[in-house]
Amino acid sequence: MNDAVWKGSGKGIRYAIIGAGMSGILAGIKLIARGETNFTIFEKGNDLGGTWRDNRYPGLTCDTPAHAYSYSFALNPQWSAYYATGPEIHAYFRTVATDRGVLPYIRYGSEVVSCNFDESAGTWAIGLADGGTCEADVVFAASGVLHHPNVPALPGLDSFGGKAFHSARWADSAVLDGTRVGVIGCGSTGIQIVNALSSRSARVVHFQRSPQWIMPVPQFDYTSEQKADFAKDPAKIEAIRRDPVYWENIYRFTDGVTDFNSPQIAQIEEICRQNLENSVKDPELREKLRPNYRAACKRLIYSWEYYECVQRPAVFVETGGIERIEPEGVRMKDGTLHELDVLVLATGFKADQFIRPATVTGRGGRQLDDFWAVRPTAHYAVSLPGFPNFFMLNGPTGPVGNFPLIDIAEMQWEYLTQLLAPVRQGEARTVEPTQDAFEAYEARRIEAAKRTIFGSGCSSWYLDKTGIPATWPWSYQAFVEAMAAPRLDEFHFAS
Ligand code: NA7
């Protein structure tokens, strides 16, 4: 049943990779590099790039420096600036996937709707939305975290006379220059959109439910001489990737977040507070923009320009509650009507979905949806008891923060390579963590998560539905060490 949909060739283990974003492309590159070409990447869209394909909003920038947000084995001397734009990053992934021979293995328009484990065969049956099916020995779910838009149930939304859309479903036909644009939401997305429109649109109303702490960061373009230097001497790129000041910031953040009373968090808070005090002149606006929760509780906004942009004459920060959407615009609870031509819902994502709504049925009929009834989780963020040979890249309980998820995926890949060695060598057919090992991990994780800054009393996409952070609660270094080698005694190998 493989023939119709399978792209892979050759003999050996059949790998199904779900998603052609950053992690799925990584998996493809790594398999090809070691001569394993019996794999298919199932991609529901018609292009690769994951979040960098879906998000096309004006101002889209990665909040991790470009040279750090690159595969370690595919450095890019051509990055135009310290922080790169979305289109540039999307193009980078396309180039790397093309150069490394991944494209022939991607099956586009192929939404995986089911993965069923066949216990007697020890294989996975993959079902696609178009009715296609195939069999695989190992599944890598690289389906991303932030890809199901959260569209709020705002009364009257359908009645809006202009264009209204979610930030990840950008309407290219929307006219932004010289028009009146409303932006709901103050996460990284809403802030970047407001920055971009502040000098283009006639009026930008930023509907702010919770203000954000803003971490000031530098931004600058690379000159053509610098790019030529990078191309000649990759050590110069490595020097940026390993820049001690950059890593000091990452460690300050990742060590600090593990304890909301840490001195590092106090330091981060002070930098952000000073940024607010020094950058926003109007006392009324300054107070509107002052958060009432701890810095880094929500994902920190890294921006070199937000405070400048928000003070431009076109921008108005609306802190009142939204009553409803009307054909002319947004009606506030106090009766004010903001007349608008375009309404952008920068309202985030359903971050607890991961591979769902696909159904995943493991050993003994275990349903992933049931297993994740309280919260999505996984043993060390990659594997699940009862789901043999089913692994996640950038899955639940992985590290989160302003550092490159590419590094996280690369570490997870090396860990999985070691874990799967007995399967590749034919010594075992399947591997999965034991229930006991998973439960012990999860109990420790939850206890630690409650002490992290993410659980210090704010709303964010980091929290599960019980209010506990669904994140890696230990330091970055602890993750590096955990991924250095799987504890094989925590796994069950079956032949
Ligand atoms: P986020 O960070 O989840 O932000 C969503 C924003 O939308 C946030 O300010 C929310 O306010 C706001 N929101 C959500 N629903 C509503 C309603 N109903 N009314 C008003 N405001 C609302 O998503 P982003 O897309 O900005 O960023 C996601 C990640 O992408 C980011 O962390 C980076 O990793 C890249 P709230 O704070 O809940 O009061």
Residues 388-418 have pLDDT tens digits of 999 999 999 999 887 899 999 999 999 999 9
Structure tokens at 148: 């199901």
Residue carrying structure tokens 């874990």: 419
What CA–CA distances, in Å, run from 257 to 139, 229, 249, 442, 449? Answer: 32, 37, 12, 18, 10
pLDDT at 402: 77
Q: What is the largest CA-CA distance in the chain?
A: 70
CB of 207 closer than 8 Å to CB of 322: yes
Q: Please list the ranges in the chain whose pLDDT falls under 70.
A: 1-3
Residue 469 alpha carbon to ligand 1 centre in Å: 16
Q: Compute, in degrees rounded to 10, the torsion defined by CA atoms 129, 132, 133, 139.
A: -50
Tell me the pLDDT tens digit for each residue of 226-245: 999 999 999 999 999 999 99
pLDDT at 2: 55
Q: Is the CB of 459 under 6 A from ligand 1?
A: yes
CB of 387 closer than 8 Å to CB of 362: yes
pLDDT at 308: 98
- Give the 3-state secondary structure percentages of the chain, helix then strand then coil, rounded to 5: 35, 20, 50
Residue 347 alpha carbon to ligand 1 centre in Å: 4
pLDDT at 343: 98
Q: Is the CB of 182 under 6 A from ligand 1?
A: no
Q: Is the CB of 404 under 6 A from ligand 1?
A: no
Q: Is the CB of 148 under 6 A from ligand 1?
A: no
Q: Which of 347, 350, 463 maximizes ligand 1 atoms within 8 Å of its Cβ, making it the mutation to test the pocket? A: 347
Residue 140 alpha carbon to ligand 1 centre in Å: 28
pLDDT at 400: 86
pLDDT at 4: 79
pLDDT at 289: 98
CB of 433 closer than 8 Å to CB of 385: yes
Q: Which of 157, 209, 345 maximizes ligand 1 atoms within 8 Å of its Cβ, making it the mutation to test the pocket? A: 209
Nearest atom in ligand 1 to the alpha carbon of residue 461 is 3
Nearest atom in ligand 1 to the alpha carbon of residue 168 is 25
Q: Is the CB of 28 under 6 A from ligand 1?
A: no
pLDDT at 144: 92
Residue carrying structure tokens 């790397």: 96
Distance CA 181, CA 200 (A): 10
Chain centroid, CA 50 distance in Å = 9
Residue carrying structure tokens 């043993």: 379
Residue carrying structure tokens 């977040």: 257
Q: Is the CB of 319 under 6 A from ligand 1?
A: no
Tell me how long the chain is.
Answer: 495
Q: Which of 147, 170, 189 maximizes ligand 1 atoms within 8 Å of its Cβ, making it the mutation to test the pocket? A: 189
Beta strands in 167-274 (DSSP E): 180-184, 203-207, 214-215
* Model confidence, pTM: 0.96
Residue 403 alpha carbon to ligand 1 centre in Å: 19
